Amino acid sequence: MFINDELITLDELDGLAQKTQFLWNINKLDDPYINEKLINLKSSVKHIEMQKNVKGFIASVEKPSHLKIVTTEDRVGVDLFVNGRLRERNILKYIPTSRLAENYFYGQIHFDNMDDDKDRFATGREGIVADDLKYKRFLEKLRKVILKILNDWDKLRLNIKQEGDSENPRISRKERASRGLYNAVSSEYDIPKKSENKKKVDKWVDDLSSDAAFNFESYAECFISENLIRKYIKEKKIPLTTQAQREARRWIQEEIRSKGVGNISINIRREKTDLNYLSMADLANLNDKKDPAKYASLARDAKEYKPMRDAIAHTALLTDLAKRKLTTVYENMKGRIKTLLSGGN
């Protein structure tokens, strides 16, 4: 094919290929574009099986804007071909999932069996008759493939420290947000490619990612729960016990000492009341006056919570057993805190 006497080759697609991150090959399509141009993907090719008479590929780019066709209002999409002829552009519009990742996809689906004794094509031979039974069955099967790819895409994007599908329930909102925060922070420790320690440091960062997601989430839970309890105590004008006052003074003196060692003259805590020097274990004792052996008790949970809470505060990595224990105790604490905040006893 020539345009203005210039031969059009696969090289015209170099820009698109360079922006392509992932590839799903359906039934081992042998295609020069994916064989010659999609050679610098961010992950190995994913192979998808579908009905035997269908072949194709779906690829995804780094950003939806990379699918924009220059000087036009059109975008590259997933197109349907029958015996080498384009029959439907952007076929995904007929099987919408309303998922974010669809905006990143392009590719080709080849379904030659659509061309048989029955006339299935619309007037002008562009497009397929919408209510054709064979076509509808094909779309149903393709939609199942797309749903699998959508799930893969989310995992692959998170693996390369980029945002995935925020609406995918595969992981919780808290874990997804924690991963995003870790990726944003860890990217600031990206060292030059020519550094001899580049691979080693990148592996360290990757190794920390799953623990970081848990610790970030747990620290956020700790921050919110403890500060809500402080506000509750202040609102209810609950007096501090002698033991709580003693504990607060201990930490106030420790802060004075460490500030002196560190040559720090500025205030550190925004509020310097005794409450702000107490941890959950101390705060819990101010709220629960009932016998912890007989009634639901925040104080009892706080005692179990403290060892893991302190480890996280010191940026330590927790064992799997400690993670499970922390999660269980926190859920119980959260329920008790919500009861207190809503006016219960």
Q: Between 280-287 and 298-313, two packed helices, what is the crossing angle to 10 degrees?
A: 170
pLDDT at 30: 94
What parts of the chain have a pLDDT lower than 50? 125
| Beta-bridge mates of residue 121 | 128
Give me the pLDDT at residue 64, please. 94
d(CA 205, CA 189) in angstroms, rounded, equals 9
Judging by DSSP bridges, how do beta strands 55-61 and 46-48 pair with one another? unpaired
Rounded Cα distance, 263 and 268, in Å: 13
Q: What pLDDT was estimated at residue 130?
A: 73
The one-letter amino acid at 317: L
Q: How far apart are CA 256 and CA 292, in angstroms?
A: 35
**Mapping DSSP to helix (H, G, I), strand (E, B) and coil, where does residue 25 land?**
strand
Q: Which residues pair with 60 in a beta bridge?
A: 22, 105
Identify the pLDDT of residue 229: 92
d(C-alpha 219, C-alpha 174), whole Å: 11
Neighbours of 248 (CB within 10 A): 18
3-state secondary structure of 128: strand
The CA dihedral of 318, 319, 321, 322, to the nearest 10 degrees, is -20
Of 243, 238, 224, nearest in space to 330 by CA: 224
Question: CA 58 to CA 332: how far, in whole Å?
Answer: 45
CA 275 – CA 239 distance, rounded (Å): 10
* Domains delineated in the chain: 2-159 (3.30.230), 220-341 (no CATH)
Rounded distance between C-alpha atoms, residue 82 and residue 184, angstroms: 44
What is d(CA 84, CA 89) in angstroms, rounded to the nearest whole number? 13
Residue labelled with tokens 């729960």: 225
* Contact of 155 with 179, CB cutoff 8 Å: no
Which pLDDT value is given to residue 154?
94
Structure tokens at 298: 């925040």
Cα–chain-centroid distance for residue 299?
34
Say if residues 91 and 134 touch (Cβ distance below 8 Å). Answer: no
